[in-house]
Structure 1
Amino acid sequence: MFGITPLGWVHTLGSLPAIPLAAYMFARHGQIMPRSVAGIAYLVFMLIGAGTVFLIAHQPVSYGIGSATILLLIAGYGVGGITILGRARRYLETAFLSLTTFLLMVPTVTEILRRVPDGHPLVTDLKSPLLLGSQAALVVMLVLGLTAQFITLRRQGRSIPG
């Protein structure tokens, strides 16, 4: 179904839960919360997706996205413990983890448009206006989302005495 191999299904179904987890955390907290239950689950599912991409990838860009995702996850989940960075660590954590969601959504949207409906996909060309428009919308959402997150962090920083 959809031209996906069994290993491809492991990759797809392994990373799929990260999408509603990210949506929940963005809606509830305005950011990925790495030290929450949802944040730990997000990390696990993202690592499954990013790790298995190396086994199924057909395009060199897929290796780059997988590698970047893993590096951003490590940085995003680790930067909170680097106290020397002060307030900057909250901004870095937010940026790194928001970028992981972006790197999840770009191939997800691309693959959905290239595979659905089964046998007659909406997009057959990587230069399709629908695909390029969808990817551009993701970039706009990333920029607007990061801007909103940084404004919120700045406001929270002002309300903390010290």
Structure 2
Amino acid sequence: MFGISSLGWVHTLGSLPAIPVAVYMFARHGRIVPRSVPGAVYFVCMLVGAATVFLVAHQPASNVIAAATILILLAGYGVGRVTGLGRAARYIETICLSLSAFLLMVPTVSEILRRVPDGHPLVTDPKAPLLLGALGGLTVLLVVGLAAQILHLARRGKAAG
């Protein structure tokens, strides 16, 4: 089904829960909260998804995105443990984890549009307006979302200080 191999299904089903978990955390907290149960689920699902890309991807760009996702994810989850960063750690954490969600959604949207409906996908050309528009929309969402998150963190910092 959808031209996906068994290993491809492991990749897809392993990373899929990261999407609703990220949406939940963005809606509830305005950001991905790494030190929480949903944050742990997000981390594991993202690692499964990103690590299995190396086994299922056929394009070099996919491996680059996977490696970047793993590095950004590790940075986002690790920066809170670095002493001496102060409030900057929360900003770095938020930016990294929002970027990781973006890097999850770019191939997800692309793959959905190129595979659904089965046998007659919505997009067959990587330069199709629908695909470019969807990816452009994700980019706008990232920029606006990051700006809102940074402003929110700055306001919270001023209120606390």
Is TM (by shorter chain) over 0.5?
A: yes
The within-5 A match list for 1:141-156 is: 141-156=141-156
State the alpha-carbon separation in 2 of the partners of residues 139 and 84 from structure 1. 32
Could you tell me which amino acid in structure 1 is paired with residue 22 of structure 2?
A
When normalised by structure 1's length, the TM-score is 0.98
Q: Which runs of 5+ in 1 are unaligned?
A: none
Match of residue 4 from structure 1: 4
State the alpha-carbon separation in 1 of the partners of residues 48 and 74 from structure 2. 14
Match of residue 19 from structure 2: 19
State the alpha-carbon separation in 1 of the partners of residues 41 and 19 from structure 2. 11
State the alpha-carbon separation in 2 of the partners of residues 104 and 160 from structure 1. 33
Question: Quick check: 1:131 aligned with 2:131?
Answer: yes
State the alpha-carbon separation in 2 of the partners of residues 3 and 12 from structure 1. 12
The within-5 A match list for 1:4-153 is: 4-153=4-153
Q: Answer with 152-161 or 99-108: which moved more.
A: 152-161
Question: Residue deviations 1:54-94, cap 9 Å, x none?
Answer: 00010000000100010011100000111211111110000
> Runs (4+) of structure 1 moved beyond 3 Å?
none
Question: Residue deviations 1:24-46, cap 9 Å, x none?
Answer: 00000000000000000000000
Q: Which runs of 5+ in 2 are unaligned?
A: none
Number of aligned residues: 161
The percent of aligned pairs where both chains have the same amino acid is 69
State the alpha-carbon separation in 1 of the partners of residues 58 and 116 from structure 2. 19
Could you tell me which amino acid in structure 2 is paired with residue 142 of structure 1?
L
Could you tell me which amino acid in structure 2 is paired with residue 28 of structure 1?
R
